[in-house]
Every structure is written in structure tokens, then in C-alpha cells.
């Protein structure tokens, strides 16, 4: 019976070692998961800033286009009025 008890103890020791190994793996995965979550959060923040920048640049581009069109219209009117012969 002593031999059976020793085998049983040995089996429990093996199980305990495997459980400790699994706990270590879980902790490692939790740490990696936290790092990845932080990275995702950081990248989302960067993306939001870049999206806002693109929106602002698009708005500025539209404003500049509008101003240029207005100036071109004025120039065309001025050119048209200068090309009319005087009576």
C-alpha cells in the first residue's frame, strides 16, 4: 500500500506542476492581452486624431477652392469689362 500512496503522491505532484505551469501561462497571456489592449487604445486615439486632421484639411481645401473660384470670377468679370470697346 505504501507504493500506491507514493504513486498517488507522485501523480498529485505532477498535476500540481502542470497546474502551476498553466497558471504561469495564463498570467503571461493576461499580460500580453493587457499590452495589446493598450496598443489598440493608443492606435484608436492616433486614428481619431488623423481622422480629425483629414476632416480639417478637407474643410480648408473646400474653403480655399471657394476663395479661388470667387477670385477667378472677379478676374473674368474684370477681363470681360475691359474687353468691351468704349463708345
Give the largest CA-CA distance in the chain: 131
- Round to whole Å and give the CA distance between 83 and 79: 6
Give the pLDDT confidence of 22-73 residue by residue, as tens digits.
Answer: 999 999 999 999 999 999 999 999 999 999 999 999 999 999 999 999 999 9
What pLDDT does 38 receive?
98
* Predicted structure pTM score: 0.63
| 84: DSSP letter | S
In a domain, 6, yes or no: no
What pLDDT does 62 receive?
97
In a domain, 8, yes or no: no
Number of domains composing the chain: 1
- Round to whole Å and give the CA distance between 41 and 48: 11
Q: Name residue, grid cell 471657394.
A: 66
Question: What counts of helices (H) and strands (E) characterise the chain?
Answer: 1, 0
What pLDDT does 67 receive?
97
What pLDDT does 1 receive?
72
In a domain, 18, yes or no: no
- Which residues form the domain of 65? 30-80
Amino acid at each position: 500500500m505504501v507504493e500506491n500512496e507514493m504513486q498517488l503522491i507522485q501523480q498529485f505532484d505532477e498535476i500540481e506542476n502542470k497546474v502551476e505551469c498553466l497558471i504561469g501561462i495564463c498570467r503571461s497571456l493576461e499580460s500580453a492581452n493587457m499590452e495589446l489592449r493598450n496598443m489598440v487604445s493608443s492606435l484608436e486615439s492616433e486614428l481619431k486624431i488623423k481622422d480629425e486632421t483629414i476632416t480639417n484639411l478637407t474643410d480648408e481645401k473646400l474653403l480655399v477652392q471657394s476663395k479661388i473660384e470667387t477670385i477667378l470670377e472677379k478676374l473674368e468679370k474684370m477681363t470681360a469689362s475691359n474687353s468691351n470697346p468704349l463708345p
